[in-house]
């Protein structure tokens, strides 16, 4: 079933977290185009039962965190990840997965799923807005078959360091980088949690392919 109520037969259910973030309808449409039964929802039961959860995010780190906490979206995300259920963060939805964000000298606590901070890019012109290539991490599922494509970015802040240590039997995360003034994290795939700094839903055919790669790896899509 799409956000309009039309059922998508045979497609895995993907919940798009409705916590008040703007401009989420394009993400729902892109997920449907990529093969999902995508639903914009805040229903905790439906979200927990979904094959995948997408966490969109636009604007400021603090505003997104405030909205997540106000709607208990932080608890929803934590519960899914604790159960090993797939989550995909987009743009600020990726940024809030880190320990904290620093905007204009003000520090805000994030969800803390990954270590490190989100800080302003060191670039001559901000925001970083437009198309850019990425260096896909080894073993990436998201970028399978689209390693050389371009993706659409619009942001002034990003995580610029990766320091998470993983020991066996856990799989090493696939960490994807991009360059704009300085290297920054364009995407991370770490167990059930994946995220992109760019907007797949605004990245044309390559973005649809990336979402399709994520959807095809969902447990209920196999």
Catalytic (active-site) positions: 91, 199, 201
> Which H, E and C letters describe 3-35, residue by residue?
CCCCCCCCCCEEEEECCCCCCCHHHHHHHHHCC
E strands in the chain: 13-17, 37-41, 52-55, 87-90, 98-103, 106-109, 114-120, 128-133, 150-155, 157-159, 174-180, 182-190, 193-196
At 113 the three-state DSSP class reads coil
* Distance from chain centroid for Cα 138: 18
DSSP 81-103: HHTT--EEEETHHHHTTEEEEEE
């Amino acid at each position: 079933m799409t956000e309009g109520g039309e059922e998508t037969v045979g497609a895995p259910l993907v919940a798009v977290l409705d916590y008040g973030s703007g401009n989420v309808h394009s993400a729902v449409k892109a997920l449907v185009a990529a093969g999902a039964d995508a639903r914009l929802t805040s229903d905790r039961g439906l979200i927990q039962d979904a094959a995948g959860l997408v966490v969109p995010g636009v604007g400021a780190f603090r505003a997104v965190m405030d909205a997540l906490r106000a709607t208990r979206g932080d608890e929803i995300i934590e519960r899914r990840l604790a159960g090993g259920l797939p989550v995909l963060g987009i743009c600020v939805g990726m940024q809030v997965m880190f320990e904290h964000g620093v905007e204009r000298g003000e520090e805000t606590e994030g969800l803390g799923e990954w270590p490190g901070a989100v800080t302003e890019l060191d670039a001559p012109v901000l925001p970083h807005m437009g198309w850019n290539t990425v260096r896909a991490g080894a073993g990436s599922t998201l970028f399978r078959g689209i390693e050389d494509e371009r993706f659409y970015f619009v942001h002034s802040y990003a995580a610029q360091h990766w320091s998470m240590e993983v020991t066996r039997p856990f799989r090493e995360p696939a960490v994807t980088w991009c360059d704009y003034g300085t290297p920054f994290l364009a995407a991370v795939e770490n167990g059930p949690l994946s995220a992109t700094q760019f907007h797949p839903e605004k990245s044309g055919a390559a973005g649809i392919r990336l979402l399709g790669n994520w959807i095809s790896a969902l447990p209920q899509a196999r």
